[in-house]
Amino acid sequence: AQSVTQLGSHVSVSEGALVLLRCNYSSSVPPYLFWYVQYPNQGLQLLLKYTTGATLVKGINGFEAEFKKSETSFHLTKPSAHMSDAAEYFCAVSDRISGGSNYKLTFGKGTLLTVNP
Amino acid sequence: KAGVTQTPRYLIKTRGQQVTLSCSPISGHRSVSWYQQTPGQGLQFLFEYFSETQRNKGNFPGRFSGRQFSNSRSEMNVSTLELGDSALYLCASSWEQVRGSETQYFGPGTRLLVL
């Protein structure tokens, strides 16, 4: 089974500063990778995903992530943080279910982003 | 197109009771997955249904069960509730979930509190 590690359970930045949320995965095969965001009392919303092709993936709300196979990483960045970006962010890998032909998402523990005025 | 809906949004139960949660997927989606989210364990896969059949199950006890109807709506049942079952239960839908690149769309969740 694959696993996902998010370094830093809590990241705090100032408004206008760079946002960097780290994600490393373990996979023996090329992975499908996702970033989701969860606002308080809401479900998960897809920010972006990597499947194949270009390793720099652009998502919604100005976020982007770069797939680096050599580093087994998929870090999420945004050049300038807004107050509205305060939320919890989850990195996930699409994990083939053992003995099956379909997939489930395996999530990291999440990173809570705080944006200070 | 309407998103994934879950009912109820909040639920309070006592130990030993049972509970049923409902999920309506996005129109046309046939795969419905359930996840449990807790502060300690994070997001964990419960099970996935496709065309009224449970295709896969996560590592949860048999007290957790579910079903899917012909219109793809799904229900999840937890019997003999324990305090540790307090969690946010999230439902996600997708077209088929046979390609790992498919996006799963999540509902707002049902927050269950067991007293």
Question: Are A102 and B105 within 8 A, CB to CB?
Answer: no
Taking alpha carbons only, the member of A4, A20, A1 closest to residue A91 is A4
Query: Confidence band (pLDDT; 50, 70, 90) for A99?
Result: low
Higher pLDDT, B41 or A98: B41
Q: Is B100 on the interface with A (CB under 8 A)?
A: yes
Q: What does the alpha-carbon distance between residue B71 and residue B25 come to, in Å, rounded to a whole number?
A: 9
**Above 70 in pLDDT, residue A16?**
yes
Question: Mutate which of B9, B35, B43 to disrupt the A interface (most A C-beta within 10 Å)?
Answer: B43
Banded model confidence at residue A100, pLDDT cuts 50, 70, 90: low
Closest partner CB to A102 (pick from B42, B55, B103):
B55
Tokens of A23: 């994600």
A24 within 8 A of A108, measured Cβ to Cβ? no
How close A73 comes to chain B (CA, Å)?
17
**Mean pLDDT in runs of 10 for chain B (115 residues)?**
92 98 96 94 93 91 97 97 97 83 93 98
Residue among B44, B35, B106 nearest A39 (CA): B106
